[in-house]
Structure 1
Amino acid sequence: MTERLQISSLPYRDDPLDYFSSLRRHPGAVLLDSGKPAAPSGRYDIISSDPVSVLTVDGQGIIRVDNQVRDSRNPFLVQQELLEGLALEFPESDLPFLGGLIGYWGYDLGRSLEPVGESSSQVVSLPASRIGLYDWALIQDHQQRESWLIATSDRRNQVLDWLRQPTPPTTDFQLLSPFEGELDRDGYAERFAAVQNYIRAGDCYQINLAQRFSARYRGDLWSAYLRLRQATPTPFAGYQAWRTSQGEQAILSLSPERFLHCRADGHVEARPIKGTRPRGSTTEEDARLAGELAVSLKDRAENVMIVDLLRNDLGRVCRPGSVRVPQLCGLESYANVHHLVSIVCGDLATGRRPLDLLSAAFPGGSITGAPKVRAMQIIDELEPSRRSVYCGSLGYVDVRGNMDTSIAIRTAVADAGQIHLWGGGGLVADSDVDAEYTETLDKIRHLMEALSDTKLDME
């Protein structure tokens, strides 16, 4: 007999962390965080734990469901099978998630889809993807100021009992060493020159070149997430942590960038970011920096290249003629940076599903370059180590066809007693090496400072 989900009201709370703090130590606990109340554009928080099943993909592309190896090389097909196996009856609702998949798709999952190469080393041991199948969710709608619990009757009672338990104490977080980059300025400049040679040779038009910074830590990663969230509230944030035989692993993401949003009616939207300036220390300086970005031909060119790439990716699964660009290079301002943001829309073709869209467009073109496959090959050749979760996606796929995913930039990854951050940017023919190197630092300086609790001189 199929069980029916029920939707019941819970007390609304301005801050989603109040609810998640009670559940964060449960197996498979996940938080998709709108950044409210500090991030003005966020709306929904999605919280869950104790998944029905967990799918992982390791660094060699081996897929496991609940530790059982699956005979498939396509993780998106296995995820679709899991989604279709969630035997629940769903009520009519406008809420974005009534059950389904929540987790992350790491950048390195792209190796399962495209002939990328094997030049870079795997420093971070997190799975290339970790996705849970969830049969309940706690959702906060900050626009309507309402909170909802979606669960079967038995699961509802279980979750309410969990929420009544004392909140686990939060302990301190501390860095044991300063952040160190895997590249110094000269090392970055050498790779920058290699990118310019590839562009001049016609191999590519744009390459997103990143560098990794790492530090040793001890203490509570939830405390680290709270610091990062306070320093840079964003509408596509997220937190996941779990334990392995080697210790705790976690993702602490403060992304400002949506990757793909799909509604149950098949409407698709992508919001690529290309073009960045820091916020100014005065109103006048801030306005000047925003104005410079808005008219920068170089930054607009980067953005337009990625828009063209995304139009092609969406065109692989969308109805012919439906792909369009309602916003090109719009200026958006966040707590620490200004960005140029475009919007690319389309409508899924008959028979296509959200996971088909994710597979067709993964990883996002805004963090690879163009053309995508050649850009990924050059990234693998020039970056010393794999990107892990960075530049992948966090998000959900709902059983009714809703999907929302981020680009996992401004994202910290914890593994084996170390915490890692990446900063990168798109390089084109007229890029300046000093400006690009500084931009990689500007994007994550505030995250490093939040974790180290001090101002940093990184020039």
Structure 2
Amino acid sequence: MAEVLRREIAYRDPALLLRRFARRKDVTFLDSAAQQGELGRYSYIAADPFETFTLAEGEGGLAALARLDRRLKRWSLPPASELPPFQGGFAGYIAYEFARLLEPQIKARTPAPDIPAIALHAYDTVVAFDHQARRCWIVSAGFPETEPEARLLRAEERLAEVEQLCLEPEPPLSGDHVIAGWQSNFTRPDYEAAIQRTIDYILAGDIFQANIAQRFTATIPASFDPLTFYLTLRQRNPATFGAFLDYGAVKIASSSPERLISFDGSLAEARPIKGTRRRDANASIDAELKAELLASRKDRAENVMIVDLLRNDLSRVAEPGTVQVPVLCGLETYASVHHLTSVVTGRLAPDKSRGDLIAACFPGGSITGAPKMRAQEIIAEIERVPRNVYCGSIGYLSFTGGMDLNIAIRTVLFHDGRAEFQGGGGITAKSNPADEYEETLAKVTRIQASFET
């Protein structure tokens, strides 16, 4: 058994299968509810991992990523080219505050997260959807068994188990999607003052840019069901890099449009977003907002600044001369906003690994600012609370060598009886505090609406 086993099943909306996995352990749903060409082409459902990767006591970030690389090498497989690229492997989240373990000099100046800094589950079996081809497979690797006969037997058993689960009747949802009583960690005057303080740091020469967010929190009522909420959210705000994670005490619903980094075994790609305008139901006004964004010197300068930062990040691990920018300030339109998105690519050096690639690029420059380390310190000082999964990453690292991680914006965390989400924006010397406050609200409007009746 050189490659994975696979069995094709009837293609359908993956959300229809997701409910059948709701009672399984550590469910990961990587969901491309919006498809834009190759972006958002694939979705995946996985559950019942055979191993969970978290930080060891006192472990640093670089040591943790090196250990993850060793786990991936132990269970490496050749890719099956006709299948979607996640063919079993580790999937889950990396919290924003994992960055403080990558740069010890900022650790004392940034808060620890309220959730584990990293949680990646090892899945031997995945349901993989190709939305472009409208095909679906159950893919089974048979790990953690490594002896060929034992691995083949486990792969066959797990494939049959998941296929049977997919054939079961769809269970009813267990609750509603309603939460009220949201509170921000900023009043409007306080947030605008925080933006002015950030501008003062920029004018003083500390940084060129920083991303400042406000956090909304509320108590989770007894009738609330995170899965019901996620299914509502994906209808109202479909995204290319959405996700629903049910890890027991930690549940996450994400409708992110932004990729941190992907890797196909050779080429790495980042897709930073900088520059936003709200959508409008009036087509004429919506077109004006789109044109305004494309013409904005401030937004373009902000995007180009982060592109330069990412070119530098990728150059740390890429072969010399291979870092390129095939798209600069391209327009992308989503359910509630228009964005300027660029594409930065580089060919990974032969002596570098996926762990090295994460270390070089995490967290994404579009949600920190530049210079990255000083921006993180200022973010912590001004926001005063951990971001947790917000602006971290959700995605997978395949046993077959690929990787795809989002930036967890438009993302809700359910933990310890509380729900939280954030909205933020990039601040430059030309930012207007009142406009920046309104932009944070525009970015979370679909999340807020999804909590309402």
Checking the alignment, whether the CA contact within 8 Å between 2:193 and 2:433 is kept in structure 1 is no
Secondary structure in 2 matching 1:215? strand
- Supply the AA of the counterpart residue of 1:402: G
Question: Separation in 2 of the partners of 1:241 and 1:102?
Answer: 12
Matched, 1:233 2:232: no
> Taking structure 1 as reference, are residues 343 and 84 closer, same or farther at Cα in structure 2, changes over 3 Å only?
same
Question: Separation in 2 of the partners of 1:75 and 1:12?
Answer: 37
- Supply the AA of the counterpart residue of 1:255: S
Shift of 1:318: 0.4
What CA RMSD, in Å, does the superposition of the two structures yield over aligned residues? 2.0
Of 130, 137, 153, the residue aligned with 1:141 is: 130
1:97-246 superposed matches below 5 A: 97-114=86-103, 115-119=105-109, 125-151=114-140, 152-175=155-178, 177-218=180-221, 219-244=224-249
Matched, 1:288 2:291: no
Secondary structure in 2 matching 1:186? helix
Q: Could you say which residue in structure 2 is the equivalent of 1:346?
A: 346
TM-score by length of 1: 0.90
1:352-386 per-position Cα deviation (integer Å, ceiling 9, x unaligned): 22221111110000000001011011111111201
Question: Separation in 1 of the partners of 2:343 and 2:72?
Answer: 28
Q: Could you say which residue in structure 2 is the equivalent of 1:12?
A: 11
- Supply the AA of the counterpart residue of 1:86: W
1:28-427 superposed matches below 5 A: 28-36=26-34, 41-56=39-54, 63-64=55-56, 73=61, 74-86=63-75, 91=80, 93-114=82-103, 115-119=105-109, 125-151=114-140, 152-175=155-178, 177-218=180-221, 219-244=224-249, 249-264=250-265, 266-427=266-427
Shift of 1:147: 0.5
**Which one is further off, 432-441 or 175-184?**
175-184
| Unpaired runs of at least 5, structure 1 | 57-62, 454-459
Checking the alignment, whether the CA contact within 8 Å between 2:208 and 2:371 is kept in structure 1 is yes
Shift of 1:417: 1.7
> Taking structure 1 as reference, are residues 166 and 252 closer, same or farther at Cα in structure 2, changes over 3 Å only?
same
Between Structure 1 and Structure 2, the one with more helix by share is 2
Q: Could you say which residue in structure 2 is the equivalent of 1:444?
A: 444
**Which one is further off, 78-87 or 308-317?**
78-87
Question: Separation in 2 of the partners of 1:232 and 1:71?
Answer: 37
Checking the alignment, whether the CA contact within 8 Å between 1:5 and 1:153 is kept in structure 2 is no
Question: Separation in 1 of the partners of 2:130 and 2:79?
Answer: 19
- Supply the AA of the counterpart residue of 1:252: A
1:267-300 per-position Cα deviation (integer Å, ceiling 9, x unaligned): 1111100000001221100000000000100000
1:236-266 per-position Cα deviation (integer Å, ceiling 9, x unaligned): 000001224xxxx2110000111111112x1
1:8-54 per-position Cα deviation (integer Å, ceiling 9, x unaligned): 111111x1111221112211110000105799952111111111100
> Taking structure 1 as reference, are residues 232 and 84 closer, same or farther at Cα in structure 2, changes over 3 Å only?
same
Checking the alignment, whether the CA contact within 8 Å between 1:324 and 1:346 is kept in structure 2 is yes
Question: Separation in 2 of the partners of 1:144 and 1:97?
Answer: 16
> Taking structure 1 as reference, are residues 286 and 39 closer, same or farther at Cα in structure 2, changes over 3 Å only?
farther
Q: Could you say which residue in structure 2 is the equivalent of 1:457?
A: none
| Unpaired runs of at least 5, structure 2 | 141-154
Aligned residues: 435
> Taking structure 1 as reference, are residues 36 and 302 closer, same or farther at Cα in structure 2, changes over 3 Å only?
closer
Secondary structure in 1 matching 2:375? helix
> Taking structure 1 as reference, are residues 121 and 400 closer, same or farther at Cα in structure 2, changes over 3 Å only?
closer
How high is the sequence identity, in percent, across the aligned residues? 40
TM-score by length of 2: 0.91
Secondary structure in 2 matching 1:275? strand
